[in-house]
Structure 1
Amino acid sequence: MAASPDELIAEGLDHHRAGRHREAAQSYQRVLAVDPRNADALHLLGMVAQARGRYAAAIDHIQTAIKLRPGIPSFHNNLALAMWRHGMLDKAAEQCREALALRPDYPQCHNNLGNIRAEQDRLDDAVACYEQAIRLKPDHASAHHNLAVARLKQQRFDDAVRCCREAIRYQPGYAKAHFHLGCAQKALGHTSDALASFQTAVQHDDGDARAHPQLGLLRAAGGDLSGAEKSFQAAIGADRNMVESIRGLGDVYAKQRRLDAAEACYRRLPESADVLNELGSALRGQGRLTEAITCYRRALADDAGFVAARQNLANAFMDAGDLDEAIDAFRETLRIRPGYADAHSAMLFCMNHRPSIDPQELLGAHRDWASRHANPGDAPVRLDNEPDPQRRLRVGYVSPDFREHVVARFFEPILTNHDPEQVEAILYAQVEIEDEVSRKLKRLAGAWCPTGAMSDAELAARIRQDRVDVLVDLAGHTGGARLGAFAHRPAPVQVTYLGYPNTTGVDTIDYRLTDGVADPDDQDRWYVEKLVRLPLGFLCFAPPSTGEPPVMAPAFESAGHVTFGSFNRLSKINDEVVALWSRVLQSVEGSLLHVKSLSLNDPAIRQRMHERFERHGIARDRIVLLEYVHGRREHLATYGPIDIALDTLPYAGTTTTCEALWMGIPTVTQASEAHVGRVGMSVLHQVGLADLAAPSGDEFVRITTELAGDTDRLATLRRTLRDRMMASPLGDGVTVTRSIEDAYRTMWRTWCAAS
């Protein structure tokens, strides 16, 4: 016996509710084969078509049903839905009004009309519709949620939170409501609440790609890069073309220094100036400077006013050793945005590398930075620090380098050896991603204050609140410095030290810690700050803590020739340095030179380096260009084949000189007039090798040649330098720290006396 139309419709509804849309359609079509004018079957067939995304067919079926049986509110409501999804917004609104004329107390139709008005950007009308739906049906979770979305668009975030909570109260597993709750909480700055809401959204609907990228962004901002990576990967798994997540994942990889993976992400994105800038930075971080420069130039061709790309272009030129081009690019950046303090600082840092720079010009450039960027304009705030010359001091250190960074290697011994009865150390950390070094320094400090989210004024206020007595800048004009906060005078005594080889130019910084070798008595005129010369040297080096390679036998014994080396940045190896080193190689028959720098990962730069030496008659088989290696142990091991390290000028090495000494390798330096070129001389004085500091190029060649010929001395130094270094002031953290804290005490007493 054949099934009746009612039985077929019931069968179709069972399939329909189970999501078996094809089978449902077949049941309804069997009804229509018997009764073509069955309005219920036509209406339901339209609903199936709508569920399958076939909106034109849905509209046709439901319109036919309405003609056959007018006056049914649900028919008009569902026709409105099909028209809305087909982009026919005005006609969809008309059908909603038809339905509501037939049934004014129809909450679902008020909700649907609200959705249509929202898409038409008629948000006030949408809100009225949602509120009417809720009045008619207070537990209408969808209407509460849709009202929340409208409030979000109106930037009424507190109202959006309230509406989302109502939706969740009536439907706890409502993933979209949890998602939009997170959006509202994020907009209000309630980061931890937003994180929890996005996590709940994912738990209820892991396939919804929208919550994952929001989770990724929040986790990345909070420093949870591993969690952010998982969130972005989950989002991409749900939607492989989700640009926001691919970009977010690339940014996470960049912060993790997984630059090849970051590069791969950026190359998947549609090309834009912003993406080209990020791709350029990923390439630059791998030492692929030629490609990076091309990316930055393409970004600037698309957007000539893109100052971040222009500054990055300048930095890439500097990395490649093209100092004049770098400075021109920095100046163009400042022409476009005169208030760009970070780019101005980067230009000052670059200027320190130029062989021809005049000290007076350099001082003027630093003063110019201060006049532009270190004038907060607010009235001086009265400091209420207790002027007791004998009490325990609160010393604040401000730096972006409380992480795996060369500055941390010189700062750690000072923090480790602080006298806790005399000094409380507070670290103001401009650190984006904390690492194991950060955690170690945090344990050693009296307090740790992240500063990345603070403006200069806010940081200064926090320092005043902490009643810091002596505030120490450890960065100068290097990346991430906070000199603008010092301009607000948040502490009675302000000092600069360690991270930058020149004056800050900032009048509110009172003192600069140095020593008498790095800054002889005639150097005071080149500083805004008063120089305080520490008696035994201004540096203290923290050797590798674990896993350092042993000192090897002298390299010349197995190689049969002397090998020179330099692991300094390429920006320090200017044409004058190449000419000087070439004279050394010509003077020491059969000798080789090892040069290692990240920039030498670039084939074009390697070729250019060989050509620079060839112009001085040095064959390329005598110049060994080493690519960058990851890991500190692996890096130190590359000192093994070297007998003598050659320093750069006018910007001398610091970390590279100390690392060479640690590995038993003496360094020869040529001291210049300014501090930037005398740090190597200071280090050598500390370890008792002052005779290896040359006053001129001729003396540099003579000293190096004689040392290369003194194999007994080389062998002795190789065997004893590590112990000698650690027994010297350079390795004596206690003594150097006492001298620094004595200096703080003297500065403090001077302020107390003036108060």
Structure 2
Amino acid sequence: MQSAVMFAKAVDAQLNGRPDEAKDLYKRLLRRHPDASEVLGNLAVLVKKDGQVAIAEQMLRRAVRANPQNFSALTTLANIRLAEKHWEEAKEFNDAALAIEPHYPDAIVNNGVLLVHDNKLDEAEQQFWRAMTLDPRNTTARMNFANVRRLKKMNVEESIEMLKSIVEKQPDNALVHQMLCSSYQETMKYVKALEHAYAAVEASKAASDDALNAVATTHVVLGELEEAMAYYEKSRAINPNNVVTGTAYLFTINYDDRKTSEDVFQEYRKHAKVISKNSKIYNHEKRAKIENRRIRLAYSSPDLYTHVVSFFIDPILRNHNRSRFELVAYANVIKPDEHTMYLRRYFDKWVDVTQMNDEEMAEQIYNDGIDIVVDLAGHTFGNRLSALSMKPAPIQATYLGFGYTTGLDEIDYFIGDKNFTPTGSEPYFSEKLLQIEAPVYAYNPPRHRTPDVCEPPAMRKGYVTFGTMTRMIRLNNRLLSVWKQILDRVPGSKLRFDQKTFEDPETIERFYRRLESLGYSRDRVELTSTLEHWNGYHEFDIALDCWPHNAGTTTFEALFSGVPVISKRDRVSVGRLSDMVLSPLGLGDWVVDTEEQFVEKAVQMASDIPALAEIRQKLRPMMENSPFFDFQGRTRALEAGYMEMVRRYNEQR
């Protein structure tokens, strides 16, 4: 058979679902023509689908050496490097392919994936749309288009339908399953999300760190901490340099009651090395002292919209001394809203960094001549710690958004107070602890949404309702077992879990079964999601706090709604959040040191309904007259901290 005929037969077999026949023909051709570039490239695609990625890569490199104009081989090489997160090399291969054939759909899709990595979602969406226009049957373009719309939080339901249509035709496509997992999480259908996460793991030819992460993150949302940690550890074993995995792992480990403070801190230090690895470091040695001018103060945050962080940072921004500070925002806000526009007016300069990669953002901060940059996110979604790891400002701090160390040497200060980060906390922070006047936070609730305080529900229901609005990840099994002891001690009492997670019937059933495995009876538990969550506090007599990671915002909300909060101190900072809130109110005795004391405090409080009614009427006025609502005082205290940072910096000039 002539080589040209054999090649045509091989291509026909490849395109029409006869891969074994195609591989056999390509191998016979290579015995005749060892350096046939197109043959090598086509065979590599088939070998790659079999999971033999390393062999496929060798063939592709041979194909490119034999014919540097083989744009198809270059594109597939780029795709392999993308899957392995070798971004720069992937870009080199893909740029070479596009230079040869700028209208090749697969290379255009690769370009879109690279743009997503660089946070340039609008440009990425255009690339995926262009690829779909050029090749309407290109499923990779379609699934990436759907995914980028999800990342932009636009038409998520439509994205799900697009992805479902693809997975019906390609049930073994791990990437589509991962995208469906993320999309179902966006719509709070977590059991369905978990199904697709496990399908992604099963579909992976070899265990994929991204597929394992999908399983882990879904278990996190469902509050199944031990399962989540196990999958994160598997993922990190495969790819210890995955920054996204590491960040999610650090977020989760704070809630793991099996870990010590030292265990947790060491994990943060390990991951900091991954974030900082190969990062450019800016040199500030030649900078002059900061004096005789306004201090250029910047805040870096993804949460400058209608987000709980805004309730704490808004009163600070509103009261900053503008004659002393020039304010700059580095806003990584994926979907800005009306509140974003409201917050913008407080800044002298607003920089949208959503479309900037880390290097570009760091360069922007450096060129803006920022004196102090304050991270407001820590290891939460949308953080830009990788940019700050390049030390673009001479003074860098973290505050408010996370509650624990970043682990980075390049962040100079963690801003705390005597209750939140008491003496003895220092060994568990990579940053210097800067203690400002307590309390460390201001709080400005959305008053247009907060209803008036009502009487305790026990007075109309005839039984005490304990409650929580915390995220499920805080609900470890040890904690739930202690809470059950309270129900056992208080006859007729009920425990109410109120959060958005319980809008999904499948999630409700799954959590009921978990509680039953711990000895709970369904008739003593209420799982609900109050549409306007502030109204949910009307149904709590007493709020129960969690450990080892205390609640944060929901503690403020409960107190402002007149609901007393019982808490237990635990590990450094995240286990001191309730101390930070309750002690300045003179309610430090509601924070105990042991599980036994926690149970006794709850039983004691539940035994006196008239006292609960009295407390309920006093709590909101106590909050309103507390230091948390002294917005100028909290701002001056924080500014004093910034001035201390500047003083120390100037001493070193």
Asked if TM exceeds 0.5, the reply is: yes
CA distance in 2, matches of 1:360, 1:242: 47
Equivalent residue, structure 1, for 2:412: 510
Matches within 5 A, 1:3-402: 155=99, 221=122, 244=141, 248=145, 251-252=148-149, 255-256=152-153, 259-269=156-166, 270-271=169-170, 272-303=173-204, 304=206, 306-376=208-278, 378=280, 380-389=282-291, 391-402=293-304
AA matched with 1:281: S
Equivalent residue, structure 1, for 2:631: 733
CA distance in 2, matches of 1:552, 1:390: 53
Q: 1:585 aligns with which of 487, 500, 524?
A: 487
The number of residue pairs the alignment matches comes to 546
Structure 1 390/557 Cα, relative in aligned 2: closer, same or farther at 3 Å?
farther
- The answer to whether the 8 A contact 2:497-2:526 is kept is yes
**1:180-236 CA deviation, whole Å, 9 max, x = no partner?**
9xx99xx99xx9xxxxxxxxxxxxxxxxxxxxxxxxxx997179x9xx9xx98xx99
Measured after TM superposition, the shift of residue 276 of structure 1 is: 1.4
**1:604-653 CA deviation, whole Å, 9 max, x = no partner?**
553453345445554211100114x55xxx11112211111110111110
**1:232-282 CA deviation, whole Å, 9 max, x = no partner?**
8xx99xx89998568635753664365444323322234332221111112
* SS of residue paired to 2:567: strand
Q: 2:332 aligns with which of 404, 419, 430?
A: 430
Measured after TM superposition, the shift of residue 693 of structure 1 is: 0.9
Q: 1:639 aligns with which of 528, 534, 537?
A: 537
**1:356-411 CA deviation, whole Å, 9 max, x = no partner?**
21111212111111222214454652355431446321111112222232222222
Structure 1 593/307 Cα, relative in aligned 2: closer, same or farther at 3 Å?
same
- The answer to whether the 8 A contact 1:555-1:642 is kept is yes
AA matched with 2:608: D
- The answer to whether the 8 A contact 1:342-1:479 is kept is no
- The answer to whether the 8 A contact 2:178-2:211 is kept is yes
Equivalent residue, structure 2, for 1:417: 319
Structure 1 702/457 Cα, relative in aligned 2: closer, same or farther at 3 Å?
same
- The answer to whether the 8 A contact 1:247-1:265 is kept is no
Measured after TM superposition, the shift of residue 571 of structure 1 is: 0.9
Return the structure number with greater relative CO, CA threshold 8 A, min gap 6. 2
When structure 1 is superposed on structure 2, of 727-736 and 642-651 the one drifting more is 727-736
Structure 1 653/439 Cα, relative in aligned 2: closer, same or farther at 3 Å?
same
- The answer to whether the 8 A contact 1:370-1:505 is kept is yes
Q: 1:567 aligns with which of 469, 474, 483?
A: 469
AA matched with 2:189: R
CA distance in 2, matches of 1:260, 1:598: 18
- The answer to whether the 8 A contact 1:383-1:464 is kept is no
Structure 1 279/388 Cα, relative in aligned 2: closer, same or farther at 3 Å?
closer
- The answer to whether the 8 A contact 1:385-1:469 is kept is no
Structure 1 517/219 Cα, relative in aligned 2: closer, same or farther at 3 Å?
closer
AA matched with 1:300: V
Equivalent residue, structure 2, for 1:650: 548
* SS of residue paired to 2:442: coil
- The answer to whether the 8 A contact 1:355-1:649 is kept is yes
Q: 1:623 aligns with which of 522, 525, 548?
A: 525
Equivalent residue, structure 2, for 1:12: none
Equivalent residue, structure 2, for 1:685: 583
Equivalent residue, structure 2, for 1:661: 559
Whose radius of gyration is greater, 1 or 2?
Answer: 1
* SS of residue paired to 1:522: coil
Measured after TM superposition, the shift of residue 503 of structure 1 is: 1.5
- The answer to whether the 8 A contact 2:279-2:389 is kept is no
- The answer to whether the 8 A contact 1:578-1:612 is kept is no
Measured after TM superposition, the shift of residue 312 of structure 1 is: 2.1
- The answer to whether the 8 A contact 1:322-1:571 is kept is yes
* SS of residue paired to 1:639: helix
* SS of residue paired to 1:468: coil
Measured after TM superposition, the shift of residue 660 of structure 1 is: 1.1
- The answer to whether the 8 A contact 2:282-2:392 is kept is no
Equivalent residue, structure 1, for 2:57: none
**Normalised TM-score (structure 1):** 0.66
* SS of residue paired to 2:574: helix
* SS of residue paired to 2:329: strand
**Among the aligned pairs, what percent are the same residue?**
29
* SS of residue paired to 1:426: strand
CA distance in 2, matches of 1:360, 1:407: 28
CA distance in 2, matches of 1:312, 1:741: 41
When structure 1 is superposed on structure 2, of 597-606 and 359-368 the one drifting more is 597-606
AA matched with 1:275: V
- The answer to whether the 8 A contact 2:418-2:435 is kept is yes
AA matched with 1:283: Y
AA matched with 1:266: L
CA distance in 1, matches of 2:411, 2:649: 13
* SS of residue paired to 2:448: coil
- The answer to whether the 8 A contact 1:614-1:620 is kept is yes
AA matched with 2:192: E
Equivalent residue, structure 1, for 2:86: none
CA distance in 1, matches of 2:475, 2:419: 23
AA matched with 1:635: H
Equivalent residue, structure 2, for 1:103: none
When structure 1 is superposed on structure 2, of 368-377 and 337-346 the one drifting more is 368-377
CA distance in 2, matches of 1:675, 1:607: 34
Equivalent residue, structure 1, for 2:650: 752
Equivalent residue, structure 1, for 2:596: 698
CA distance in 2, matches of 1:524, 1:429: 30
Structure 1 530/306 Cα, relative in aligned 2: closer, same or farther at 3 Å?
same
CA distance in 2, matches of 1:311, 1:677: 26
Structure 1 679/390 Cα, relative in aligned 2: closer, same or farther at 3 Å?
farther
Measured after TM superposition, the shift of residue 549 of structure 1 is: 2.5
CA distance in 2, matches of 1:257, 1:591: 43
* SS of residue paired to 1:677: coil
**1:21-67 CA deviation, whole Å, 9 max, x = no partner?**
xxxxxxxxxxxxxxxxxxxxxxxxxxxxxxxxxxxxxxxxxxxxxxx
**1:117-163 CA deviation, whole Å, 9 max, x = no partner?**
xxxx9x99xxxxxxxxxxxxxxxxxxxxxxxxxx9986379xx9xxx
AA matched with 2:576: R
- The answer to whether the 8 A contact 1:687-1:730 is kept is no
CA distance in 2, matches of 1:532, 1:669: 25
Q: 1:453 aligns with which of 351, 355, 358?
A: 355
* SS of residue paired to 1:371: helix
CA distance in 2, matches of 1:542, 1:729: 12
Unaligned runs of 5+ in 2: 1-66, 71-94
AA matched with 2:223: G
Equivalent residue, structure 2, for 1:554: 456
CA distance in 2, matches of 1:713, 1:370: 49
